[in-house]
Amino acid sequence: MQIIKTISQLKEALAIYHGKESVGLVPTMGALHNGHISLVKKCVEEGNVTVVSIFVNPTQFNDANDLKKYPRNLEADCGLLKNSGCKYVFAPDESEMYPVPDTRKFNFGLLESVMEGKFRPGHFNGVGQIVSKFFDIVQPNKAYFGLKDFQQLAIIRKMVADYNYPVEIVPCPILREPDGLAMSSRNMLLEPEMRKAAPFIYQTLCKVKGMIQAYTPQKVIDYVQSEFQNNKDLKLEYFEIVDNKTLQPVSDFEGIQCTGCIAVFAGKVRLIDNIQLIS
């Protein structure tokens, strides 16, 4: 496994593979956990020369404190990746990725008007900026993204279609802790009391899945809002039931593939999760 810090060095390293072997990209912001490693292993198992990027992208943060607090430990990340089959770790600094400000504006339409886009304005434009940069640099045949970031996956698929990137987007399942909490780099920021409370998020999503045969989407949403109003530790930011393709709210469950998406504050730490309701 080779750690590379510059764009020119990475391009030189990958030049011998393009057109001969499949190159796979796993973009991350570091603070790696087993969820990330599952993406890397899938990339390796599918026969790719595997590149893992580690870069905390400032343009997708609309809260300066959130950016400052985001966990960073490149040495620990590389230790986790060592036996994963990863070929290259691309760990640039900010000046390497943004030698000048990136003023590009992406239009993701209705996909970015709901949920994360509504509560984190500018976030997905920053995602588009950095992921497109990685695609241009690495020129992957495949790129691997976790389903925990359900809306992000839809955004990236649209970007690939709109800009004709010759890359296959591979969605990977959510990995969970034994108590059900979705694996996330932000989990390490949770205070002990909040970590104990956080599994309530997935427990509630599981209850939702059992309600869809008997209740309307609005009744289910009302139920979730009520559950969190009665929870003294967790603050619900949103719970939406959305069409899998358009991400727009659904008014009934009949014949619609949909997902329940949630964002919750556990103390000062913001957690997201989702559950497929009808696939």
CATH number at residue 99: 3.40.50.620
Rounded CA separation 244/246 (Å): 6
pLDDT tens digits for 140-191? 999 999 999 999 999 999 999 999 999 999 999 999 999 999 999 999 999 9
The answer to whether residue 11 scores a pLDDT higher than 90 is yes
| 18 classed as catalytic | no
Claim to verify: residue 165 and residue 194 sit in the same structural domain: no
User: Within 10 Å of residue 11's Cβ, how many Cβ atoms?
Assistant: 15
Cβ-based neighbours of 102, under 8 Å, separated by 6 or more: 59, 129, 133
Claim to verify: residue 211 and residue 245 sit in the same structural domain: yes
Claim to verify: residue 25 and residue 55 sit in the same structural domain: yes
Question: Is residue 44 assigned to a domain?
Answer: yes
**Residue 201 · residue 184 · CB < 8 Å:** no
Claim to verify: residue 97 and residue 161 sit in the same structural domain: yes
Domain span holding position 105:
2-172
Where residue 259 sits, what CATH number does that domain have?
A: 3.30.1300.10
Beta bridge partners of 278: 258
Claim to verify: residue 16 and residue 58 sit in the same structural domain: yes
The pLDDT assigned to 30 comes to 97
Which residue, of 133, 149, 172, is where some domain finishes?
A: 172
Question: Is residue 136 assigned to a domain?
Answer: yes
Residues, the chain, total? Answer: 279
Q: Amino acid identity of 184?
A: S
Which residue, of 124, 141, 172, is where some domain finishes?
A: 172
Claim to verify: residue 72 and residue 106 sit in the same structural domain: yes
Claim to verify: residue 69 and residue 109 sit in the same structural domain: yes
Domain count of the fold of the chain: 2
Name the nearest CA neighbour of 120 among 112, 130, 128.
112
Question: Is residue 179 assigned to a domain?
Answer: no
Name the nearest CA neighbour of 112 among 270, 271, 247.
247
74-81 and 34-45 are packed helices; what angle lies between their axes, rounded to 10 degrees?
40
Question: Is residue 106 assigned to a domain?
Answer: yes
Claim to verify: residue 29 and residue 150 sit in the same structural domain: yes
Which residue, of 141, 172, 203, is where some domain finishes?
A: 172
**3-class secondary structure, 80:** helix
pLDDT tens digits for 216-265? 999 999 999 999 999 999 999 999 999 999 999 999 999 899 999 999 99
Rounded CA separation 171/130 (Å): 18
